[in-house]
Amino acid sequence: MTSMISVQGLSVHFGALRAVDNIDLEIPKNQVRGLLGPNGAGKTTLVRVLATLLEPTSGTVTVGGHSVERHPNSVRSMIGLAGQYAAVDDLLTGRENLEIVGRLYQLPKTEARKRADEALERLSLTDAADRLVRTYSGGMRRRLDLGASLVGRPEVLILDEPTTGLDPRTRLELWAFLRDLVTEGATVLLTTQYMDEADELADRITVIDTGHVIADGTADELKARVGGDLVTASPKRRADLARVAELLTDIGSGAVRVDENQLTVSVPVDARVDALVRTAQRLDEAGIELSDLGVQRPSLDDVFLAITGKVGSDTTAPTETKRHRGRR
């Protein structure tokens, strides 16, 4: 079958700005595609075109075989959309919000009620169903917004940074919930700034920056472009930096990256433990004291750096903050 989502030569210009510049994207049925990119990359613009909220400047975009320009209603009936900013009404209860969405889908009242209850149950909001949304936490709002995107039982879910700003526990809950939906056959386009999120959820990842696709592949393929895993070492004394760099050059392949007092070198994935042990031994033999030593998978920052030669912005997930900050 043809792609569930097909984007061919899509451009969206805002005056002189090319927010989306000649993007191609093919997403087969039941795939979860991660669309990864820093702030301003063009993710939301692409999402808005897919959701028929914005007309392309040029290009062809279809969802389930329907053209977003010629048959927007057919597209709308197939998709559910949830965004970074929950589009729920504060002055209504959770249940009322979802029932209204059901009525917008022109469901009979009893059916709208049934689906609202179903969505509330799935997102663990049943206990809060009759409270005003005004009293909800940020995570609850986001869950309710996701619930709203499910009322129409869409075949295609478009999620625009669904977990940005959420606490780590709520993120994990949302991830588990999304996995359930995919098991049931949904096709998902998930935009995110977080490599770990794309890694967890996406079958395939498209990386965009300044309106262009700059990489595309599975998480492992993308990380492979960094050239392996990364051994990092931080000497206690700055005076040891040069000697540590020298030792790391022998251990790894390619150049040693220096980031303040942290040194990073890539090592083959299948030799990561061996490389770490050798590093520890040799630094110890050389009498160098370390404040930190480790080996890790590359982050989005590293993938970005490898592909574009520049550091991405805002790419560190809340749960990852500690682990990655040192390598910035």
Ligand X SMILES: Nc1ncnc2c1ncn2[C@@H]1O[C@H](COP(=O)(O)OP(=O)(O)O)[C@@H](O)[C@H]1O
The residues of the shown chain that bind ligand X, judged by CB under 6 A, are 14, 17, 19, 37, 39-45
Residue 106 binding partner per list ligand X, Mg ion, none, with a CB distance cut-off of 5 to 8 Å that depends on partner kind: none
Residue 41 binding partner per list ligand X, Mg ion, none, with a CB distance cut-off of 5 to 8 Å that depends on partner kind: ligand X
Residue 142 binding partner per list ligand X, Mg ion, none, with a CB distance cut-off of 5 to 8 Å that depends on partner kind: none
Which burial class, exposed, middle or buried, applies to 327 when counting CB atoms under 10 A from its CB (0-12, 13-18, 19+)? Answer: buried
Tell me how far, at minimum, the Cβ of 20 lies from ligand X, in Å.
7
Tell me how far, at minimum, the Cβ of 160 lies from Mg ion, in Å.
6
* Residue 193 binds Mg ion, judged by CB under 5 A: no
Tell me how far, at minimum, the Cβ of 195 lies from Mg ion, in Å.
16
Indicate the residue among 59 and 65 with the shorter CB distance to ligand X: 59
Residue 42 binding partner per list Mg ion, ligand X, none, with a CB distance cut-off of 5 to 8 Å that depends on partner kind: ligand X
Indicate the residue among 12 and 98 with the shorter CB distance to ligand X: 12
Tell me how far, at minimum, the Cβ of 204 lies from Mg ion, in Å.
20
Residues 268-297 touching Mg ion, rule: CB under 5 A, are none
Q: Cβ distance 57 to 11 under 8 Å?
A: yes
Nearest to 12 by CA among 62, 64, 67, 50: 50
Indicate the residue among 14 and 108 with the shorter CB distance to ligand X: 14
Tell me how far, at minimum, the Cβ of 161 lies from ligand X, in Å.
7
Indicate the residue among 43 and 327 with the shorter CB distance to ligand X: 43
Tell me how far, at minimum, the Cβ of 249 lies from ligand X, in Å.
37
* Residue 192 binds Mg ion, judged by CB under 5 A: no
Indicate the residue among 19 and 81 with the shorter CB distance to ligand X: 19
Size of the site for Mg ion (CB under 5 A): 2
* Residue 44 binds Mg ion, judged by CB under 5 A: yes
Residue 45 binding partner per list Mg ion, ligand X, none, with a CB distance cut-off of 5 to 8 Å that depends on partner kind: ligand X
The alpha carbon dihedral of 161, 166, 172, 178 has a sign of negative
Choices 13-21, 41-49, 179-187, 295-303; region in contact with Mg ion by CB under 5 A: 41-49
Residue 193 binding partner per list ligand X, Mg ion, none, with a CB distance cut-off of 5 to 8 Å that depends on partner kind: none
Return the HEC string of the chain.
Answer: CCCCEEEEEEEEEECCEEEEEEEEEEECCCCEEEEECCCCCCHHHHHHHHCCCCCCCEEEEEECCEECCCCHHHHHHHEEEECCCCCCCCCCEHHHHHHHHHHHCCCCHHHHHHHHHHHHHHCCCHHHCCCEHHHCCHHHHHHHHHHHHHCCCCCEEEEECCCCCCCHHHHHHHHHHHHHHHHCCCEEEEEECCHHHHHHHCCEEEEEECCEEEEEECHHHHHHCCCCEEEEEEECCHHHHHHHHHHHHHHCEEEEEEECCEEEEEECHHHHHHHHHHHHHHHHHCCCCEEEEEEECCCHHHHHHHHHCCCCCCCCCHHHHHHHHCCC
Tell me how far, at minimum, the Cβ of 142 lies from Mg ion, in Å.
15
**Binding residues vs Mg ion (CB under 5 A):** 43-44
